[in-house]
Amino acid sequence: MKLSIVVTLKPGVLDPQGRAIHHALNGLGFDGVTDVRQGKLIELEVADDTDDATVDQMCRRLLANTVIENYRVERRA
């Protein structure tokens, strides 16, 4: 089973990298961009019988720092 873990910064946490990307997009003439937030995508391949609680523990204990980040799990075919 393949999983995608999408890790994003919590709302309100300042994102200097997102701001720099925003600035660069504006510099390329993309004036319609109102905000940019940078996150990360982690792809896992796990045993088919891996339950949601185990995946949740992986995210909480390592893949995301829940002080500053949120995460969501997407199951892929």
Partner 1 sequence: MKTAVIVFPGSNCDRDLAIALQAATGTAPTMVWHAETVLPDAVDLVAVPGGFSYGDYLRSGAIAARSPVMRAVIDAAGRGVAVLGVCNGFQVLTEAGLLPGALMRNAGLSFVCRDVDLEVANADTRFTKGYVAGERITVPVAHHDGNYVADADTLDRLEGEGRVAFRYAETVNGSARGIAGLLNDAGNVLGMMPHPERRTEAAHGGTDGRRLFEGLAAAFG
Residues making contact with partner 1 (CB under 8 A): 13-14, 16-17, 20, 61-63, 65, 67-68
Q: Which is nearer to partner 1, 33 or 68 (CB)?
A: 68
Give bridge partners of residue 39 from the DSSP assignment: none
- Strand blocks (E) in 1-77: 2-9, 40-45, 69-76
Q: Which is nearer to partner 1, 67 or 77 (CB)?
A: 67
State the amino acid at position 7 in one-letter form: V
Residue 49 CB, nearest distance to partner 1 (Å)? 24
Q: Which is nearer to partner 1, 44 or 63 (CB)?
A: 63
State the amino acid at position 24 in one-letter form: A
